[in-house]
Amino acid sequence: MRKRSTNYKKIDHLTTTFSARVKFNEADPLGIVWHGNYVSYFEEGREAFGREHGITYLDINNHGFSIPIVRMECDNKFPLKYGDTYTIKTHVLDCPAAKIIHTYEIYNQDGVLACEGKTIQVFVNKEGALSLTLPKFYEEWKNKVNFKS
Protein backbone atom coordinates (compact mmCIF):
# COMPACT_ATOMS: atom_id res chain seq x y z
CA MET A 1 0.00 0.00 0.00
CA ARG A 2 1.36 3.38 -1.01
CA LYS A 3 1.09 6.39 1.29
CA ARG A 4 -0.71 9.39 -0.17
CA SER A 5 1.24 12.59 -0.62
CA THR A 6 0.80 15.17 2.10
CA ASN A 7 3.13 17.72 0.56
CA TYR A 8 0.45 20.33 -0.13
CA LYS A 9 1.33 23.84 -1.29
CA LYS A 10 0.39 27.13 0.35
CA ILE A 11 -2.05 29.29 -1.57
CA ASP A 12 -0.02 32.52 -1.52
CA HIS A 13 -2.89 34.93 -2.13
CA LEU A 14 -4.95 33.31 0.66
CA THR A 15 -2.79 34.38 3.59
CA THR A 16 -3.90 36.51 6.51
CA THR A 17 -1.81 38.51 8.95
CA PHE A 18 -3.20 39.40 12.38
CA SER A 19 -1.43 41.21 15.22
CA ALA A 20 -2.17 41.43 18.94
CA ARG A 21 -0.46 41.99 22.27
CA VAL A 22 0.24 39.25 24.83
CA LYS A 23 -2.19 39.76 27.71
CA PHE A 24 -1.37 39.34 31.41
CA ASN A 25 -3.58 36.25 31.77
CA GLU A 26 -1.70 34.48 28.94
CA ALA A 27 1.64 34.50 30.76
CA ASP A 28 2.97 32.28 33.53
CA PRO A 29 4.49 33.71 36.76
CA LEU A 30 7.79 34.28 34.91
CA GLY A 31 6.03 36.46 32.31
CA ILE A 32 6.40 33.88 29.53
CA VAL A 33 3.39 32.85 27.42
CA TRP A 34 2.09 29.50 28.63
CA HIS A 35 2.56 26.95 25.82
CA GLY A 36 -1.16 26.07 25.65
CA ASN A 37 -2.04 29.63 24.64
CA TYR A 38 -0.45 29.17 21.22
CA VAL A 39 -3.47 26.99 20.36
CA SER A 40 -5.68 30.04 21.06
CA TYR A 41 -3.42 32.16 18.88
CA PHE A 42 -3.92 29.68 16.04
CA GLU A 43 -7.67 30.09 16.56
CA GLU A 44 -7.29 33.88 16.30
CA GLY A 45 -5.45 33.34 13.02
CA ARG A 46 -8.20 31.07 11.64
CA GLU A 47 -10.91 33.54 12.69
CA ALA A 48 -9.05 36.41 10.99
CA PHE A 49 -8.53 34.25 7.89
CA GLY A 50 -12.24 33.45 7.71
CA ARG A 51 -13.28 37.10 8.07
CA GLU A 52 -10.80 38.28 5.44
CA HIS A 53 -11.55 35.57 2.88
CA GLY A 54 -15.30 35.08 3.36
CA ILE A 55 -15.41 31.64 4.99
CA THR A 56 -16.17 32.15 8.69
CA TYR A 57 -17.30 29.50 11.14
CA LEU A 58 -20.78 31.06 10.99
CA ASP A 59 -20.81 30.69 7.19
CA ILE A 60 -19.85 27.04 7.51
CA ASN A 61 -22.48 26.48 10.21
CA ASN A 62 -25.15 28.18 8.09
CA HIS A 63 -24.44 25.56 5.41
CA GLY A 64 -25.09 22.76 7.90
CA PHE A 65 -21.51 21.84 8.79
CA SER A 66 -18.98 22.20 11.54
CA ILE A 67 -15.24 21.72 11.11
CA PRO A 68 -13.65 20.13 14.18
CA ILE A 69 -9.89 19.96 14.46
CA VAL A 70 -8.67 16.37 14.10
CA ARG A 71 -4.94 17.10 14.14
CA MET A 72 -2.79 19.90 15.46
CA GLU A 73 0.96 20.50 15.46
CA CYS A 74 2.70 23.21 17.45
CA ASP A 75 6.45 23.83 17.40
CA ASN A 76 7.64 26.45 19.87
CA LYS A 77 10.80 28.20 18.72
CA PHE A 78 11.24 31.30 20.89
CA PRO A 79 9.21 32.50 23.89
CA LEU A 80 6.72 35.31 23.71
CA LYS A 81 6.48 37.41 26.87
CA TYR A 82 3.83 39.49 28.57
CA GLY A 83 3.51 42.80 26.71
CA ASP A 84 5.05 41.51 23.46
CA THR A 85 3.25 42.26 20.23
CA TYR A 86 2.93 39.20 18.05
CA THR A 87 1.88 38.67 14.46
CA ILE A 88 0.19 35.50 13.22
CA LYS A 89 0.47 34.60 9.55
CA THR A 90 -2.21 32.08 8.64
CA HIS A 91 -2.05 30.16 5.38
CA VAL A 92 -4.32 27.58 3.79
CA LEU A 93 -2.93 24.59 1.92
CA ASP A 94 -4.15 23.24 -1.42
CA CYS A 95 -5.60 19.89 -0.40
CA PRO A 96 -8.03 17.94 -2.63
CA ALA A 97 -9.54 15.98 0.28
CA ALA A 98 -12.62 17.03 2.28
CA LYS A 99 -10.62 18.90 4.89
CA ILE A 100 -9.10 22.29 5.57
CA ILE A 101 -5.41 22.53 6.41
CA HIS A 102 -4.05 25.76 7.89
CA THR A 103 -0.45 26.53 8.74
CA TYR A 104 0.65 29.25 11.13
CA GLU A 105 3.74 31.33 11.81
CA ILE A 106 3.82 33.51 14.90
CA TYR A 107 6.46 36.24 15.10
CA ASN A 108 7.35 38.61 17.92
CA GLN A 109 7.65 42.38 17.41
CA ASP A 110 11.29 41.97 16.35
CA GLY A 111 10.36 39.54 13.56
CA VAL A 112 11.71 36.49 15.41
CA LEU A 113 9.78 33.28 14.71
CA ALA A 114 8.24 32.27 18.04
CA CYS A 115 6.05 29.38 16.94
CA GLU A 116 4.84 27.53 13.89
CA GLY A 117 2.03 25.07 13.59
CA LYS A 118 -0.60 23.31 11.55
CA THR A 119 -4.21 22.26 12.01
CA ILE A 120 -6.37 19.86 10.04
CA GLN A 121 -10.14 20.26 10.15
CA VAL A 122 -12.76 17.97 8.63
CA PHE A 123 -16.35 18.63 7.59
CA VAL A 124 -19.04 17.13 9.80
CA ASN A 125 -22.75 17.61 9.09
CA LYS A 126 -25.33 18.53 11.75
CA GLU A 127 -26.08 14.85 12.36
CA GLY A 128 -22.40 14.29 13.17
CA ALA A 129 -21.52 12.38 10.00
CA LEU A 130 -18.10 12.92 8.45
CA SER A 131 -18.22 14.28 4.91
CA LEU A 132 -16.00 12.25 2.59
CA THR A 133 -16.40 14.72 -0.26
CA LEU A 134 -16.06 18.48 -0.34
CA PRO A 135 -19.35 20.18 0.52
CA LYS A 136 -20.78 22.12 -2.42
CA PHE A 137 -20.58 25.49 -0.65
CA TYR A 138 -16.86 24.94 0.02
CA GLU A 139 -16.18 24.01 -3.60
CA GLU A 140 -17.99 27.20 -4.64
CA TRP A 141 -15.89 29.24 -2.20
CA LYS A 142 -12.68 27.68 -3.56
CA ASN A 143 -13.70 28.66 -7.11
CA LYS A 144 -14.68 32.18 -6.03
CA VAL A 145 -11.29 32.87 -4.37
CA ASN A 146 -9.24 31.18 -7.11
CA PHE A 147 -8.06 28.44 -4.77
CA LYS A 148 -5.13 27.09 -6.75
CA SER A 149 -1.46 26.84 -5.83
Mean per-residue pLDDT, 68-81: 97
Collapsed DSSP state (helix, strand, coil) of residue 148: coil
For residue 24, the 8-state DSSP code is G
CA angle 58, 41, 27 (to 5 degrees): 135
No. of helices (H) and no. of strands (E), the chain: 3, 7
Structure pTM? 0.91
Q: Which of 7-11, 16-20, 28-32, 124-128 has the lowest mean pLDDT?
A: 7-11
Asked whether residue 76 carries a pLDDT value surpassing 90, the answer given is yes
Beta carbons of 77 and 113 less than 8 angstroms apart: yes
Q: Where are the domains of the chain?
A: 10-139
User: What is the topology classification, in CATH, of domain 10-139?
Assistant: Thiol Ester Dehydrase; Chain A (3.10.129)
